[in-house]
Amino acid sequence: MVLVRGEGTRVWDAEGKEYLDFVSGISVNNLGHCHPRVVAAVREQAGLLLHASNLYHNRPQAELARRLAELSIGGRVFFCNSGAEAVEAAIKLARRLWWRRREGRGEAPQAADVPRVLVFEGAFHGRTLAALAATGRYLDGFAPLPPGFVRVPFNDLAAAEEALDATFCAVLVEPVQGEGGVVPAEAGFLGGLRRLCDRTGALLIFDEIQTGLGRTGRLFAYQHYGVVPDVLTLAKALGGGLPLGAVVAAGEAADAFRPGDHGSTFGGNPVACAAALAALDVLVEEDLPARAAALGDLLLGRLRELAARHPVVREVRGLGLMAGLELAVPARPLVEAARQAGLLVNCTAERVVRLLPPLIITEDDVERAVAVLDAVLAASVSRPQASVL
Ligand SMILES: *Cc1c(COP(=O)(O)O)cnc(C)c1O
């Protein structure tokens, strides 16, 4: 399928077929496609300054850094171009701080020293080498990977407590695992990690690349849990559809990088930052996180009704407009059947149908999407030989 045009919650392919988009570029197009204010900001900035280099400041970058820090955890912001780059930067930041503290204590580095990062089963942090090592899947054929990542089960605080000690520079966690199958952190888990980090000195890094910027019904998912991280990684929806990633670092972590420690040619590009500022304005002015919370309740309620009618649905999980339908069978055929019926959803973790609609969807859009899923679930049961399921 070749997509050629998008507007609001709809996209069109090269044959002119229209789709209701419940993928949103995997939580990128949170304002829908081609939001007029984002498009206008891109056009205006493109005519002013396309690129300048981080040897100099540019206005959209500085303004965006200020707004992101104000709206989240304070501190300072590093800009890059993607989620994986944001994760890489956060890992480098945590290692740099760990070594800095050691230097501060006058301890000479030993060859055997490895500052470690605690990560979780089912995680996804990107596809570059260190991000892949943190992810722990999709590794085959890419050895060797950077060392220093220790993995324990998600939502298992006792396992995290047992693993964590002063050799860890960071705990890296998604408040709601996305690629892992839409799995929210349980109450108490993130708060428990916060206490463990405070005890051992590890930085608490929340990867909100997928959950951030309104998706879960709050501007950032950590706000549901009342737990504040030291470091926040952002990307996906941040650039309003343009490539942009960011690391927000507060407290001691904000000073871990000194000039020259890390860098990116395109990071903080003025056009991407102008698009991000426009997208952030719309998100805040229209209170789209609240809309995501309300529409997410409707969507999850309807999906639970579907689950009650279709035994092939094992579980419905989600937070705000980040929803997953876990099936007893592989989800890909159902995703394809929905596409043919004019609804874009995607498959993650093999058996999970993931729904990430734009935050601007209407109740009608929700009802339409659920009707399509209802029909394809029913068809899959009446025609199992067609291997829809
Ligand atoms: C998508 C994603 C990434 C990677 O982002 P890219 O821009 O594809 O590199 C990292 N972490 C999470 C939680 C993601 O959802």
Residues 139 and 200 in one domain: yes
Task: Judge whether 102 lies within some domain.
Answer: yes
Contact 199, 207 (CB under 8 A): no
Q: Evaluate: CB of 207 within 6 angstroms of ligand 1.
A: yes
Task: Judge whether 1 lies within some domain.
Answer: no
Contact 225, 193 (CB under 8 A): no
Task: Judge whether 89 lies within some domain.
Answer: yes
- Which of 104-113, 127-136, 255-264 shows the lowest mean pLDDT across its residues? 104-113
Whose tokens are 């799995």? That residue is 183
Span 32-38, average pLDDT: 98
Residue 381: what pLDDT? 64
Element (H, E) at 183: strand 183-184
> pTM of this prediction?
0.97
| Coil/strand/helix, residue 271 | helix
Residue 225: what pLDDT? 97
Query: What CATH number has the domain bearing residue 318?
Result: 3.90.1150.10
Residue 386 has pLDDT above 70, yes or no: no
Q: Give the number of other CB atoms < 10 A from CB of residue 107.
A: 11
- Domain containing 309 equals 287-330+338-353+368-389
Q: Evaluate: CB of 209 within 6 angstroms of ligand 1.
A: yes
Residue 244 has pLDDT above 90, yes or no: yes
CA angle 352, 354, 357 (to 5 degrees): 170
Which residues have C-beta within 8 Å of that of residue 198, sequence separation ≥ 6?
Answer: none
Residues 318 and 209 in one domain: no
* Ligand 1 center–CA 176 separation, angstroms: 13
Q: Evaluate: CB of 35 within 6 angstroms of ligand 1.
A: no
Task: Judge whether 144 lies within some domain.
Answer: yes
Task: Judge whether 209 lies within some domain.
Answer: yes
Model confidence at 387, pLDDT cuts 50, 70, 90, reads: very low
Residue 125 has pLDDT above 60, yes or no: yes
Residue 385: what pLDDT? 44
Residues 201 and 60 in one domain: yes
Cα(217)–Cα(195) distance, integer angstroms: 25
- Atom number of ligand 1 nearest to Cα 177: 13
Among 209, 232, 233, 238, say which to mutate for ligand 1: greatest number of ligand atoms within 8 Å of CB. Answer: 209
Give the number of C-alpha atoms closer than 13 A to the C-alpha of residue 162, restricted to the C-beta side: 7
Residues 132 and 232 in one domain: yes
Question: What is the tens place of the pLDDT at every residue in 296-305?
Answer: 999 999 999 9
Residues 265 and 292 in one domain: no
Residues 237 and 312 in one domain: no
Span 232-259, average pLDDT: 97
Residues 294 and 213 in one domain: no
Task: Judge whether 45 lies within some domain.
Answer: no
Residues 345 and 222 in one domain: no
Among 91, 207, 236, say which to mutate for ligand 1: greatest number of ligand atoms within 8 Å of CB. Answer: 236
Tell me which of 246, 274, 302 is where a domain ends.
Answer: 274
Residue 112 has pLDDT above 90, yes or no: no
Question: What is the tens place of the pLDDT at every residue in 4-16?
Answer: 999 999 999 999 9
* Ligand 1 center–CA 67 separation, angstroms: 22
Residue 382: what pLDDT? 59
Residues 323 and 181 in one domain: no
Count of the separate structural domains present in the chain: 2
Model confidence at 107, pLDDT cuts 50, 70, 90, reads: confident
Residues 107 and 215 in one domain: yes
Residues 203 and 58 in one domain: yes
Q: Which amino acid is at 205?
A: I
Tell me which of 230, 246, 274 is where a domain ends.
Answer: 274
> 285 exposed, middle or buried (CB, 10 Å; 0-12, 13-18, 19+)?
exposed
Residue 20 has pLDDT above 60, yes or no: yes
Question: What is the tens place of the pLDDT at every residue in 44-70?
Answer: 999 999 999 999 999 999 999 999 999
* Ligand 1 center–CA 183 separation, angstroms: 15
Question: What is the tens place of the pLDDT at every residue in 259-279?
Answer: 999 999 999 999 999 999 999
Which residues have C-beta within 8 Å of that of residue 353, sequence separation ≥ 6?
Answer: 324, 325, 327, 331, 334, 335, 338, 345, 346, 347, 373
Residue 383: what pLDDT? 55
Please report, for residues 71, 210, 380, the alpha-carbon distance to residue 29 in angstroms, rounded to integers and kept in the order given.
20, 11, 30
Question: What is the tens place of the pLDDT at every residue in 328-378?
Answer: 999 999 999 999 999 999 999 999 999 999 999 999 999 999 999 999 999
Model confidence at 178, pLDDT cuts 50, 70, 90, reads: very high
Span 189-208, average pLDDT: 98
Model confidence at 113, pLDDT cuts 50, 70, 90, reads: confident
